[in-house]
Structure 1
Amino acid sequence: MIVKLSMFLMLFPFMAVAQGFAGLGQDAEGFDVPFKGHTLTFPKDHGAHPGFRIEWWYVTANLSDDTGSQYGVQWTLFRSALRPLRQSGWQDPTVWMGHTALTTPEHHFFGERLARGGIGQAGVTPAPFSAWIDEWQLQGPTFQDLSMTAATEEFSYNLQLTSQDPLILHGENGYSVKSEQGQASYYYAQPAYQVRGTLNLPAGPIAVTGTAWLDREWSSQPLSADQTGWDWFSLSFNDGTRLMAFQLRGEKFDFISGTWITEKGETTPLKSNEILLTPLATTVVSEREIPTQWSLSVPEHQVDVTISAINREAWMETSFPYWEGPVNVTGNRTGVGYLEMTGYE
C-alpha cells in the first residue's frame, strides 16, 4: 500500500525529509498524478505505469505448517522513475528494487535486490502476468493464479497463490487520499489468496498453507511535506471479513484511513474518525523503539482487537530500514495479518 514508499529514500538521496517522508512530498512536475474519477482497467493496470514516479507489487503471506507453527513471507518489487522521461535501453530512467523476507517466531530472514531499467533485469508485464527482478518471480497466466519464488543464501520459497475473489479498490474506486492537502495514489489489492507451497529454511524444507494479500499502488507525490512515517495494517479475520488501515504520522496530526471488506468482497471506505489506533507495547529493535503491539477498533463494524507481532524482531535492515512482519489478532475478532512501520528513529 502507500506505506511501502519508504524504501525509495535510497533511490532519491538528494531529497530531504522536509519535502515529505523520504522525499515523497516532492513536487511532481513532469510526472503523471492521480486524479479523482479515473477508472482502473484490468489487466492493463496490473502492469507498470512509466508516467508515474513510484509504484510497487507487494505480497505478504500468513502461513503455517502441519504442526501449527506460524510463518510470514514478504515479496516486493518497487519501480522508481528518476526522471519524467520515457526512454528505452540504457537511457531508461527507471530503477527497480526487490525485497523479500521469511519470518518465524524465532528468526527473521530478509534479502534485497537492485536493478536498472531498460535491460531486462527487472520488469512487469500485465498479461500473462509476470513481475521479476533477477530470478525472483511473481507470475502466472492471470492475476488470480500466481507462483511466487525468491531465494537468498539463507532461505528460499516456492508458493502457489490462487483466488476467485474480486479485486478490492481502496478509497474512492481506487483513488486513495493520503493527506489533508489532497495527495493521493491509485491503490487496489487482492487480499484473498489461498496459498500452498514450500519454505526452505536452514533446518530444511517445510510444507505450508495459508493466505496472502497483494497490494498494488502507484503515484508521483503521495505524501505531504510534514508526514514523517506510517503504520500499515492488513488484517484477515477468521469470520471472512478483512480490514486495511494506515496511519500517516505528521508533525501536527496523523492522517488515518482504511477499508472494511466483507466476506463477499464488498467494501466500505473508512475515515480518520472511524478508526482508533493505540500502541500498547514497544520493543527496542536496531536501537529504535518500535510499537509491536497495538489496539485497533472500528466501532461502526464491531471491531475491537489487539494486534501482536509474531516476531518482535522483524526488522528489515535493507538500504532503507523498516519493520515488517506477520501479526496475530485477538479480541472480539480473531485472525492474522501483517504490519509495516516506518519512520521510527
Structure 2
Amino acid sequence: MLSILFGVYFLSESSDNKPAVNELSLVQKPANKQVFEPVLPNHPVVLPNDFRFHPEYQHEWWHYFANVEDKKGNKYSVQWSYIRIASDERDMVGWQSPQLYISHIVVSNKHKVWKQQRIARGGIGQAGMIVRPFRLWLDNWSWRSLGNTPFPGQLDVQTDQFALQLRSKTSGPFALLGDKGYQKKHDLLPIASYNLSAPFLSVKGWLQLDKNRAVEVKGEAWMSKEWGTGLIAAGQVGWDWFVFDLNNDTTLTVSRYRHDQQMPYMFGTLMTKSGKAIALSGDEILMEPTLYRTVADGKQLPIEWAIAVPKHGIELNTKAINRSLWLPFVIPYWEGPIQTTGTHTANGFMQLTGY
C-alpha cells in the first residue's frame, strides 16, 4: 500500500499495529509551502552542539543497537530508534506543531522477537528533546543523561509486554561520517545527510521479557544520528545498511542505496578507537546478496550477503541470527543482528528497506 506521511511517500505494508495507523490519521495535512534547509557540503558537523535537534531540517533519526548477554550466557539484541519528521518549517506550539515523532523498540534472541512502536504529535509535551540535561522522550520511553551529550546515558522503555533499562557509556571517540559529517547518497543528484556516530559503547542494565523477572545484562553498543531534508529521492527504491564490530578497536559501516534503473550508490566508513574515520567510496566496496529467503508477508529479502573492502583486507559473509525481523511499522523494514565469517568473526546489524 502506498501511504503518505507528511507529504513524503513510503512503500509500506498494512500493519497489524492498528493504534499507530489511527494515530497517523490524526496528523494534519502538509502545508502547501514547505521550506527546509538544504544539506550542503562545507558545513561540518560540530560536537557537542549537533547533538541538539535541528528543526530547520525536515527529519532527524537516532539509531541505537546493543548486543548483550545475561549471566547464564543467553544473548539478546536491542534496537531502539527515535525519529522526528516535520511537515513544514513553521515553529508552532500545541496542536499546530508540524513535528511528528516515531519510536521503535525491538528486542530479539535467536528464537523470539519482542517489538513495539509508538507515535506522537509534537507541541503537546508527549515527545521531544532538551539538551541541558540531554533527554529524548516519547511517552514513558526515554534516553537521558546528566550532561549536554547522550553519554553516559540511560535508555528506559516500559511496555505492557516487556521492559528494559540500559546504561551506555563511550569506550572510544565519536566519529563523523563522510566528509566531516556530510554524507553524499547519490553520484549526480544533490542527495545527502549529516551524520555522526558513537561506534564504541559499553552497556549494562536489565531486560524484563514476557513479564518474567528482570535479568541483568551487559555488552557492547553503537549509536548514530542522522538529519537532513528529503527522506526519499525521486527514483529511490530503498537501501541496504550494515554495521560491524570488527574487533575491539575497529567498526565498519557500509550502505548501498538502490535507485530505479540506476546502479546502486555505495559508501562506508571505517572507525577506530584511535580517532580515525576513514571514508570509503563506492569503488572500494563490494556488496552482493548471496541468499534470498521468503520472510513475513511473502517478501523475498536478501538475508545473506558477501561484503568486502579489499583495500583494507576485509572479506565478510553475513548471516542473520533471527530471520523473523521484518518490522511492520509505519515505515516498514527488516532490521536485526547478524554475524559474519571470513577475515573477521564479527557481530553487527543489518537494515533492509524498500522490499
Q: 1:297 to 1:309 in 2, by over 3 A?
A: same
Aligned to 1:61: 66
| Match for residue 309 of structure 2 among 295, 298, 307 | 298
Aligned to 1:332: 343
CA contact (8 A) 1:45 1:126 kept: no
Q: Which amino acid aligns with 2:194?
A: Y
Query: Are 2:102 and 1:71 aligned?
Result: no
Aligned to 1:219: 228
CA–CA distance in structure 2, aligned partners of residues 119 and 15 of structure 1: 26
Query: Are 2:166 and 1:159 aligned?
Result: yes
Q: Deviations over 1:109-168 (max 9, x none)?
A: 110111111111101122321111000011112322010111222221110101142211
CA–CA distance in structure 2, aligned partners of residues 296 and 55 of structure 1: 28
CA–CA distance in structure 1, aligned partners of residues 34 and 47 of structure 2: 27
Cα distance, 1:238 vs structure 2: 2.4
| Match for residue 260 of structure 1 among 235, 258, 270 | 270
TM-score, with length taken from structure 1: 0.90
Aligned to 1:283: 293
Query: Are 2:186 and 1:179 aligned?
Result: yes
Unaligned runs of 5+ in 2: 12-31
CA–CA distance in structure 2, aligned partners of residues 243 and 64 of structure 1: 22
Task: Name whichever of 129-138 and 43-52 sits farther off.
Answer: 43-52
TM-score, with length taken from structure 2: 0.88
Q: Deviations over 1:308-333 (max 9, x none)?
A: 11101112121232111111122111
Cα distance, 1:307 vs structure 2: 1.4
Aligned to 1:23: none
Cα distance, 1:10 vs structure 2: 5.5
CA–CA distance in structure 1, aligned partners of residues 331 and 201 of structure 2: 28
| Match for residue 90 of structure 1 among 86, 95, 99 | 95
Q: After the TM superposition, which residues 1-345 of structure 1 pair with which residues of structure 2 at under 5 Å, given as runs? A: 11-12=5-6, 15=9, 30-142=35-147, 143-180=150-187, 181-202=189-210, 203-221=212-230, 223-251=232-260, 252-286=262-296, 287-344=298-355
Q: Deviations over 1:240-271 (max 9, x none)?
A: 21101111111121010010112323111001
Task: Name whichever of 318-327 and 168-177 sits farther off.
Answer: 318-327
Q: Which amino acid aligns with 2:153?
A: L
Q: 1:144 to 1:76 in 2, by over 3 A?
A: same
Cα distance, 1:239 vs structure 2: 4.4
Aligned to 2:24: none
Unaligned runs of 5+ in 1: 1-7, 18-26
CA–CA distance in structure 1, aligned partners of residues 313 and 128 of structure 2: 42
CA–CA distance in structure 2, aligned partners of residues 326 and 131 of structure 1: 24
CA–CA distance in structure 2, aligned partners of residues 50 and 14 of structure 1: 17
Q: 1:311 to 1:233 in 2, by over 3 A?
A: same
